Structure formats: structure tokens, C-alpha cells
Amino acid sequence: MDKLLIHGGTRLDGELRASGAKNSALKMLTASLLANEPVTISNVPHLRDITTMIEILGSLGVEVVVDEKMNIEIHANTIKSFTAGYDLVKTMRASFLVLGPMLAHYGQAIVSLPGGCAIGPRPIDQHLRGLQALGARIEMNEGYVHASVDGRLKGAHFSFDFCTVGGTEHVMMAATLAEGQTVLENCAREPEIVDLANCLNAMGADISGVGTGTIVINGVESMHGCTHRVIADRVEAATYLIAAATTGGRVKVKEAQQEHLEVVLTKLEEAGAEITVDDEGIELDMKGKRPKAVSLVTAPYPAFPTDLQAQIMVMNSIAEGTATVKETIFENRFMHVHEINRMGANIRLEGNNTIALVEGVAELNAAPVMANDLRASVSLVIAGLVAKGDTIVDRIYHIDRGYEQVEEKFRILGAHIERIHSR
């Protein structure tokens, strides 16, 4: 398993380009199953999760053509099987979202349950309830969800019990080919959902209200091909901004969108960063200062994203003052805390492991560390960048799931970081 070796203590300084958003691109690949013609998605990041989704489409018999610039062309009408198997689905929760589009287009789909995940149980009850509201028959059999419908799905009024990103996307995709109108309430509002809806509308869907709590979908009989460019990855962009803030440095992330990062930028300003936004992207400058600790609560968009909680925890761990970080989206998403504490941080967990009390320390010290999820792993890289000495971050296949060319990008910013390949 590859590891990253980081020689800490360098202030980050430089410019890089944000990659396309993984969480948009993955859903667009599943959305292509709705179309009768080829769909081309561009600005797709070169990531392990994207490869997994391409493999899943391939396992259905769908032809996928990827060019050297990661433009991906999907010919859904070449589909030969309606079963997505356990071996692929278990590795990535987002793969479950092939179910709705297959069901809506072909009237049938058998998809393995995504199974447990390192950041809590993450059930799919809202996905299934939404699809059932559209008239889907759902049965569970030996770890697989069997979904079917006679004819087309039927438009319906459905309200989610709570905000779910995947649930909103899944039911919205299925409703595009339903007969009549669907009104979805209590929807999640993440920019990736808006991006997905724009892609679906370019394929001929009729969706309005995305980005608000109520989405209205007027079902269409068929969907055609389109070309769609994925938005910039706000989580990746903010990860580099937070890394720069943690090291007292400066970074410009080109293509990063301010309107997707309002709350995060406000928190970084509170920490003492100077933020400049122009047509090219977002620049953060700490001017060599130590950050001030910032308290926050993770919650659905537009609030502070859970996917940046681990990274900002590291910034807080070496900040001036104390902070409270509350996680409200996932259970068990503080696994990085024990690892950062092993590097000398002073973080205490309370409230049944949902609240972290961070007392900033003057410095962290290098240590061998590892984590079991994507964002926790990258937070340990940030810890390594600011720590004294050489940190080895193990199990970085998690980082490769979501961060394109992570060590190259950090090196562009002046970091001393290298990948240790092992078999």
C-alpha cells in the first residue's frame, strides 16, 4: 500500500487549479443511464472513485470511452445487464445510484446494498422510500435491492425525512422519466445537486427549484445526449485553502467558486486569513501568522460541510485559542482526532463523540499515522505539513479516491512530500 512521506515545516505558497467535482461527476455518470444517446462529461477528475464507477457501468455492458483529457463518453443504450454486483458496489456508496436511472429507463434494476462504511452506517432508506413513492416495487434478497416497475414510474409528491444529498439526487434522477409531475420536499441543496440537475436538463429533463428545498420535476418520455462540464470541486479547493491557512502560507486556487464556499471562507477570515476573490479563483494569504481557533457546526449546505471538518480540525489544533467543532451529519466522523492527538494535538471528544473540544498547541510533531476515510486521511497530510519532522501517512488509497494528484499539487505549493510506493 502506498504511503506519503511529508517533511513538515514549509509554509505553502503558490497557485493551482481545482479539479472537477468528484461528487458531481460520479452522479452524472449514473445519470447517463437515462439517455438514449451518448452523454459526454468533461472536466472529470482522474480518481479511483471515478474508475470504480466506470467499471460498474462496464459491468452492465455499457460502452464508456475515456480520452486523454478525461472527457468521458457514455453510450447507455449498449446496456446488457441490469445487475450491479456486490464486489464493485461495496467499495463506493455512490455506486448505489445506478439503481434509480436503470429502473426509470428500463423498468428493472438489481443493485447490491452499499453496506457499511467507515463513517457510520449510512443507510439508504430515504432513497428507497422516494423510489417507492414513484411506484417502484422494491424487494430485498440476499443483500441485493431488486427494483422494478411495470411501464413508467409515476410522478408523486414526496418529502424526505431529513436532508440527504444522495437521496435527493437519486429520486430526482428517477423522476425525470416518470409519467407526470414529481414534487420533492426537504431536498438537500448542495452545488453538486444543482450541477447534476443542469446536466439532466441538458439531456432533456424538465427540473426546476434545485438549490432550494423543493424540487419540481416534470417527467419526460425520453432523454437525449448532451455534453456537460463538471463544476470545480469545492471540497478539494477548500482543502488547499485550509492547508495554506494552517501553515501560515498563501495559495491561489484557480476555478474555485466563492459562492460554493461562503461559510468556509468566512471561517477562514475569522481565523485571520486574507481572502481575495477574482475572475480566476480564490486566494488565501495568512501572511505568516498563526491561525486563530474557530468554532463550527457541520450541517447540510449552505452550512459548514462535514467533508471539511477534519481539515479545519487540524488548523484548529495548532491555532491560538480554543474551539468547539460539532459534527451533525455523520456518526463516527472523528477518527482523525486520535491520530492528530498522537502528533501532539490537544483535542477531547465529548457528547457521545459528536463534539470535539480543541485547545490549540504551539506545534505538532511528526508521527506515523493513518486514517480510514478520505477527508480524515487528507487532514493527516495537512498535519504532516505543519508538524516538526517527517510524517508518514499510511493507507493513502483513501486520498486517491478523492484528491487528484495530491502530492503533485502540494509540491506545486512548495511542500516536501513524496509517495512511497509499495506492493
Residue with the shortest CB distance to ligand UD1: 166
The minimum distance between CB 192 and ligand UD1, in angstroms, equals 6
The minimum distance between CB 39 and ligand UD1, in angstroms, equals 19
The minimum distance between CB 420 and ligand UD1, in angstroms, equals 27
Here's the x/- map for ligand UD1, 344-383, by CB under 6 A: it reads as ----------------------------------------
Nearer to ligand UD1, 71 or 332 (CB): 332
156 CB-near residues (< 8 Å, 6+ apart): 133, 134, 135, 178, 182, 183
Q: Does residue 117 carry a catalytic annotation?
A: yes
Is residue 93 a contact point for ligand UD1 (CB under 6 A)?
yes
Q: Single out the segment in contact with ligand UD1 by CB under 6 A; choices: 12-20, 71-79, 116-124, 310-318.
A: 116-124
Residues 129, 397: Cα–Cα separation, whole Å: 33
Size of the site for ligand UD1 (CB under 6 A): 21
| Distances from the Cα of 197 to the Cα of 89, 169, 174, 217, 240, angstroms | 24, 8, 12, 10, 27
Determine phi and psi for 31, rounding to 5 degrees.
-60, -30
Span 4-33, contacts to ligand UD1 by CB under 6 A: 23, 26
Nearer to ligand UD1, 127 or 250 (CB): 127
The answer to whether 20 and 199 have CB atoms below 8 angstroms apart is: no
The minimum distance between CB 278 and ligand UD1, in angstroms, equals 28
Is residue 330 a contact point for ligand UD1 (CB under 6 A)?
yes
The minimum distance between CB 359 and ligand UD1, in angstroms, equals 26
Beta strands in 286-422 (DSSP E): 296-297, 322-326, 346-350, 355-359, 368-370, 390-394, 416-420
Nearer to ligand UD1, 115 or 180 (CB): 115
Here's the x/- map for ligand UD1, 293-312, by CB under 6 A: it reads as ------------xxx-----
Please list, residue by residue across 183-204, b when 16 or more beta carbons sit within 10 angstroms of its beta carbon and e when fewer do.
bbebbbbbbbbbbbbbbbbebb
Q: Single out the segment in contact with ligand UD1 by CB under 6 A; choices: 61-69, 99-107, 122-130, 380-388.
A: 122-130
Q: Single out the segment in contact with ligand UD1 by CB under 6 A; choices: 50-58, 115-123, 211-219, 246-254.
A: 115-123
In whole angstroms, how large is the CA radius of gyration of the chain? 21
The residue within the footprint of ligand UD1, chosen from 76, 94, 256, 383 (CB under 6 A), is 94
| Helix, strand, coil percentages for the chain (3-state, nearest 5) | 35, 30, 35
Residues 372, 80: Cα–Cα separation, whole Å: 35
Is residue 122 a contact point for ligand UD1 (CB under 6 A)?
yes
Catalytic pick from 117, 163, 187, 199? Answer: 117
Furthest C-alpha separation in the chain: 65
Q: How many helices, marked H, and strands, marked E, lie in the chain? A: 14, 24
Nearer to ligand UD1, 94 or 413 (CB): 94
The minimum distance between CB 327 and ligand UD1, in angstroms, equals 10
The residue within the footprint of ligand UD1, chosen from 35, 199, 203, 329 (CB under 6 A), is 329
Please choose, from the candidates 246, 237, 236, the residue with its C-alpha nearest in 3D space to the C-alpha of residue 384: 246
Residues 167, 134: Cα–Cα separation, whole Å: 13
Is residue 249 a contact point for ligand UD1 (CB under 6 A)?
no
User: Is-cis flag, bond preceding 302, omega within 30?
Assistant: yes
Letter for the amino acid at 348? R
Residues 72, 7: Cα–Cα separation, whole Å: 37
Q: How many CA atoms lie within 13 A of 375 on its CB side?
A: 24
Here's the x/- map for ligand UD1, 146-185, by CB under 6 A: it reads as ------------------xxxx------------------
Residues 334, 132: Cα–Cα separation, whole Å: 34
Is residue 127 a contact point for ligand UD1 (CB under 6 A)?
yes
The minimum distance between CB 204 and ligand UD1, in angstroms, equals 24
Q: Grid coordinates representing 11?
A: 509554509
Query: Would you please indicate which residues are annotated as catalytic (active-site) residues?
Result: 117
Q: Which residues bind ligand UD1 (CB under 6 A)?
A: 23, 26, 93-94, 120, 122-127, 164-167, 188, 305-307, 329-330
